[in-house]
Amino acid sequence: MSQPTLPHRAEMEARILALLAELDGLRGGGLETPERQRRAWLKAWQGERLARTHAALLESPRFAPAARFFLEDLYGPKDHRARDQDVARVLPKLLKLLPQSAQWTMAQALQMDALSEGLDARMTQCLWEQGALRHAQDLSAEQYAAAYRTVGQAQARQEQLELVMQIGRSLDHLTRLPMLSASLKLMKKPAELAGLSELHGFLQRGFTAFAHMKGAEDFLQRIVQEERALMLSWLQR
């Protein structure tokens, strides 16, 4: 699978900074508000749903590490504010250390976060207006499907799935880069000393999970096909 033409460093830096600013705005600048709590409940519910839907991948010796990475680090309820703060704090230095393809993967992950955060904000508002999300467990599959259909955003949902595929293929490509595995291991202690553990952990988990699979296409197709089928069923009910 050929890689896209990648932006130069200055363009990449501007893109990442813009995505970080968008994410900060979508998250309310980090303020803990009732709306943010309700959104956290929604994310937790979605995370449990993803684990049920993709239980076979999570139980597969070959696919389990990559499934956990996608469902926890990319497509699930995890709070990425610490990782994003790491990126913003050391971005110029980070871009000098990482190969272009790793920079691109990071930018794609941030784009995925921003898209998902915006969709979750719409879903949270819709569910609240429909009388759901009054408590942590106060959400049924029927309520979720009804809100999903009301919010719509079919194009954004499709883009979300395309990003899953792109990020997965980018991570798969990274596992083939000479010396990247050794470089990530060498970066662990300096990253901890610099307060960049969240960012390093994200990169290390993704690399290790995809290296373990030895080929990601089957895994990615299974996730995307299942999620697309659910998306269409929820939109068309």
pLDDT confidence of 5, banded at 50, 70, 90?
low
Tokens of 33: 């508000």
- Residue pair 237/145 in contact (Cβ under 8 Å)? The answer is yes
Q: Could you tell me the residue ranges of all domains in the chain?
A: 9-236
- Residue pair 92/100 in contact (Cβ under 8 Å)? The answer is no
Write the DSSP string, the chain: -PPPPPPPHHHHHHHHHHHHHHHHHHTGGG---HHHHHHHHHHHHHHHHHHHHTHHHHT-TTTHHHHHIIIIIISSS---HHHHHHHHHHHHHHHHHS-HHHHHHHHHHHHHHHHHHHHHHHHHHHHHHTT--SSTT---HHHHHHHHHHH--HHHHHHHHHHHHHHHHHHHHHTTSTTHHHHHHHHHHHHHHTT-HHHHHHHHHHHHHHHHHT--HHHHHHHHHHHHHHHHHHHH-
pLDDT above 70: residue 206: yes
73-87 pLDDT tens trace: 877 677 777 778 877
pLDDT confidence of 186, banded at 50, 70, 90?
confident
Distance CA 201, CA 192 (A): 10
For 50, phi then psi, to 5°, come to -60, -40
- Residue pair 216/168 in contact (Cβ under 8 Å)? The answer is yes
Distance CA 148, CA 154 (A): 10
70-125 pLDDT tens trace: 888 877 677 777 778 877 877 887 777 777 888 888 888 889 989 999 999 999 99
Instruction: Quote the pTM value.
Output: 0.86
Tokens of 102: 């790793």
Q: What would the mean pLDDT of 134-148 be, rounded to a whole number?
A: 85
Q: What would the mean pLDDT of 165-179 be, rounded to a whole number?
A: 87
